Amino acid sequence: MKAIIVYDTKFGNTEQVAEGIAKVLNADLIKVTEVDPAKLKIYDIFIFGSPTHAWNMSGGMKKVFNKLKGHSFEGKKATAFDTKLNTRFAGNAATKIQSKLKKLGFSIAMKPVHFFVIGREGPLADGEMEKVKAFSTLK
């Protein structure tokens, strides 16, 4: 099973998580700006990770889903993660990403995972990187 992680980052925290997940899964890792739909056919498992911006995914990640529109990912597995503040009204990017994934025909392989940052620019809260281990269930 070949896996790919597509991520966006502004301050580096989401990138750090993406790199951690890539190690767990031995997955390829690309930034949102590098996405070419034609090159995605070889992958079986897709993981999309975004910082939470205004209760939603980042602008860069929104562009990815615009690019993927019209392509079918039936039979492929996917999930999402985000980085976000750990407050009640923070919203999150990953739930929004999951609904895009369903529309593209992906089967949702696991619940979205939220990684908490301490402030707008990070860093990740203590122990958050431990959560990357959850992605080993996708192997």
Ligand X SMILES: Cc1cc2nc3c(=O)[nH]c(=O)nc-3n(C[C@H](O)[C@H](O)[C@H](O)COP(=O)(O)O)c2cc1C
Under the rule (CB under 6 A), what is the footprint of ligand X? 9-15, 51-55, 83-85, 90-91, 117, 120, 122
| Complex with ligand X: residue 59 or 105, whichever CB lies closer | 59
CB 92 within 8 A of CB 55: yes
Residue 124 bridge partners (DSSP) = 117
Q: How far is the CB of 27 from ligand X (least distance, A)?
A: 18
Q: How far is the CB of 125 from ligand X (least distance, A)?
A: 11
Return the structure tokens found at 125. 């809260």
| Complex with ligand X: residue 9 or 79, whichever CB lies closer | 9
Q: How far is the CB of 41 from ligand X (least distance, A)?
A: 28
Sign of CA dihedral 96, 101, 104, 107: negative
| Complex with ligand X: residue 38 or 89, whichever CB lies closer | 89
Q: How far is the CB of 62 from ligand X (least distance, A)?
A: 13
| Complex with ligand X: residue 12 or 104, whichever CB lies closer | 12
Return the structure tokens found at 90. 């923070």
Return the structure tokens found at 119. 């402030």
Cα first-last separation, the chain: 7
